[in-house]
């Protein structure tokens, strides 16, 4: 495994209004709370493809997804985290 690219992104999450069915007579729920979240995002080369890894700063667990090509992983990072082509940090 080799880290190919990495970035730290700050996102605003939450603030979503309720959607969907509610039982009759139930009051409308409030929006989900908004919070600012920092993620460490990495593209890791593995045998047979690439992983898009993300981990919320200060949290022990993370998330990953597999892609066949680096371009697919970069596209997913752009869509999920807003990491642009020049948003990746230089690696040592």
User: What percent of the chain stands above pLDDT 70?
Assistant: 100
| Banded model confidence at residue 19, pLDDT cuts 50, 70, 90 | confident
The secondary structure of residue 47, as a DSSP letter, is: T
CA distance linking residue 80 with residue 75, whole number of Å: 9
CA distance linking residue 33 with residue 51, whole number of Å: 30
pLDDT at 20: 78
Domain range summary for the chain, segments of one domain joined by +: 2-14+34-81
Report the predicted TM-score, pTM, of the whole model to 2 decimal places: 0.78
Q: In what order do the strands lie in the sheet with 35-46?
A: 2-13, 35-46, 49-56, 63-67
Given a cut of 90, whether residue 77 has pLDDT beyond it is: yes
């Amino acid at each position: 495994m080799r880290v190919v690219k990495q970035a730290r992104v700050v996102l605003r999450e939450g603030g979503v209004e309720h959607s969907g069915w509610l039982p009759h007579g139930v009051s409308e729920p409030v929006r989900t709370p908004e919070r600012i979240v920092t993620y460490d995002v990495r593209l890791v080369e593995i045998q047979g493809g690439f992983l898009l890894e993300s981990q919320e700063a200060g949290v022990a667990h993370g998330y990953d997804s597999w892609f066949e090509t680096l371009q697919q992983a970069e596209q997913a990072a752009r869509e999920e985290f807003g990491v642009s082509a020049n948003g990746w940090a230089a690696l040592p």
